[in-house]
Chains A and B, each alone.
Chain A
């Protein structure tokens, strides 16, 4: 499985996934095995801890039903992901320009920095009640929470990132007669790539957690967070566990994208160390 990947890794002189993937697969496999054993031996009542095999069956059931059961896994995944990605895109579109402007233009900085600082201190869940009153218990509240939670770290990291770009990069660029649009593209953007990705990663992490929590409170919205709490009402532990696993896997997949982006930038450039566990 990992032979080709390993060789490619060596050939490019970058990270070597094969060993890490093997170790990761082994540890996940061990957990699954222990879990299944515990469940099969009845250490914990099956209803409180269904095994992986049961969950796999449940996944097939919920995925195969076109609305025949109360939980529609595919539909919930789609709903949640559309909210997450749509809201995140809006957050990026707002936060990156504001972060850049607040760093480059002192009046904007004076105005925006306190705003960022205050927003930074507000947990997303604290704005949900008022959002529900304003925008209702549906989609709009969920998406607003995503925008709000993702916006803050992205804007702050971009702001700090722009401030940290060595002014002598600009000097060097200008000493080659670089045009402003090229300075933006070839100095500013790559110059803030590392903090930008860190901010995106953090914003996505916050947004993901807040979205699941908010969905559980917005009764008209559906989605993974809504359904997992509904399942609790019915004491449907199989569905609860299945959704937990799905949420974990999606979260892990999103994280993996950002780790990949970091490998392509900071680590390849040698700006930060690669660390052992990547």
Chain B
């Protein structure tokens, strides 16, 4: 990357310690039905630092979700290394919360019931404490008044707020988010980006956020890890130091936007030179 663009930097200045590191990470799905294996993640290397809002950016089908699910411990690693605090990821854990594009709320639980779920499963707090913590995130995500509604009665934006609150409520070290705003209309997405950006600033959490939307990535990220189309590799890892809250029409943001688009457009995994 050309060093002349000031808001984009190759290396972190006040970066925290590395908490997740992928080295030549690879994932191959072997279907049960005799179809040929699918290489979902070819050869991916990157680092995630504590407290950094990290965005995995790349075109559809390049293996972003699969990478995120491997960090979550939901999918097994097929090759290379994926280290969490210096140790290989071994299954899911309460340190890593997950948010999906299509919410995956529990339809049999009310809004408050969904948000209390993780706290109940931890078996660490009594009923009153669980309620109080859940209520806090109800307020925080703007869900007040809907506590006793069932998710099916609410809009997509509200559902995603519930899912985010459900995950935040247990205060995990990592928030893994898989295109959480991709299914929402532009206006709702805009508000949620702003709210998430605010929440991320208040929280100690390390966010790992998957998207194919360049603008969304720039508005949210401290660091953007750019994936190439399949076979997936990491093209570039860049830092975004624009002040928050970020405005989509900020000329500096548009500048990064243009640069990222040309980078992705080149489709040349190992050739970032201009």
Interchain CA distance A203-B71 in the complex, whole Å? 44
For residue A183, which residue of chain B has the nearest CB? B121
Q: Min CB distance, A45 to chain B, in Å?
A: 56
A182 touches B72 (CB 8 A): no
- Is B150's beta carbon under 8 Å from chain A? yes
Partner of A186 from the list B121, B151, B152 (CB cut-off 8 Å) is: B121
User: Interface residue count for A (Cβ, 8 Å)?
Assistant: 23
Q: Min CB distance, A269 to chain B, in Å?
A: 4
What are 16 sample pairs from A and B whose C-beta atoms fall under 8 A apart? Answer: A171-B92, A173-B121, A174-B74, A175-B94, A175-B118, A175-B167, A176-B94, A177-B121, A177-B122, A186-B121, A265-B108, A268-B150, A269-B107, A269-B150, A269-B152, A270-B150
For residue B104, which residue of chain A has the nearest CB? A168
Q: What residues make up the interface of A, taking CB atoms closer than 8 Å to B?
A: 166, 168-169, 171-179, 182, 186-187, 190-191, 193, 265, 268-271
B106 touches A176 (CB 8 A): no
B152 touches A270 (CB 8 A): yes
A269 touches B100 (CB 8 A): no
Interchain CA distance A160-B94 in the complex, whole Å? 30
By a CB distance below 8 angstroms, the chain B residues around A271 are 107, 152
- Counting contact residues on chain B (CB < 8 A from A), the size range is 20 to 34
Q: A168-B100, A268-B150 are in contact. Are A175 and B106 (CB under 8 A)?
A: no
B92 touches A270 (CB 8 A): no
Q: What residues make up the interface of B, taking CB atoms closer than 8 Å to A?
A: 69, 72, 74, 91-94, 96-98, 100, 104, 106-109, 117-118, 120-123, 150-153, 167, 170, 172
Interchain CA distance A200-B108 in the complex, whole Å? 19
Partner of B98 from the list A175, A178, A268 (CB cut-off 8 Å) is: A175
Partner of B93 from the list A168, A175, A187 (CB cut-off 8 Å) is: A175
Interchain CA distance A173-B172 in the complex, whole Å? 13
By a CB distance below 8 angstroms, the chain A residues around B151 are 270
For residue A190, which residue of chain B has the nearest CB? B108
A interface, over-half SS: helix
Q: Min CB distance, B61 to chain A, in Å?
A: 19
B104 touches A175 (CB 8 A): no
Interchain CA distance A178-B109 in the complex, whole Å? 16
By a CB distance below 8 angstroms, the chain A residues around B74 are 171, 174
By a CB distance below 8 angstroms, the chain A residues around B172 are 175
By a CB distance below 8 angstroms, the chain B residues around A190 are 106, 108-109
Q: Min CB distance, A167 to chain B, in Å?
A: 8
Q: Min CB distance, A136 to chain B, in Å?
A: 45
Partner of B122 from the list A169, A174, A176, A186 (CB cut-off 8 Å) is: A176
Q: A168-B100, A174-B91, A270-B150 are in contact. Are A182 and B108 (CB under 8 A)?
A: no
By a CB distance below 8 angstroms, the chain A residues around B97 are 175-176
By a CB distance below 8 angstroms, the chain A residues around B69 are 171
For residue A173, which residue of chain B has the nearest CB? B121
By a CB distance below 8 angstroms, the chain A residues around B93 are 175, 177
B92 touches A174 (CB 8 A): yes
A186 touches B92 (CB 8 A): no
Q: Min CB distance, A16 to chain B, in Å?
A: 17
For residue A271, which residue of chain B has the nearest CB? B107
For residue B91, which residue of chain A has the nearest CB? A174
For residue B149, which residue of chain A has the nearest CB? A13
By a CB distance below 8 angstroms, the chain A residues around B98 are 171-172, 175
User: What are the 8 closest A-B residue pairs judged by CB atoms, nearest first?
Assistant: A270-B152, A176-B118, A177-B94, A190-B108, A178-B121, A174-B92, A269-B107, A176-B121
By a CB distance below 8 angstroms, the chain B residues around A179 are 121, 123
A270 touches B118 (CB 8 A): no
Q: Min CB distance, B164 to chain A, in Å?
A: 13
From A177, A187, A265, A271, residue with most partner B Cβ within 10 Å: A177
B108 touches A193 (CB 8 A): yes
For residue B109, which residue of chain A has the nearest CB? A190
Interchain CA distance A171-B153 in the complex, whole Å? 24
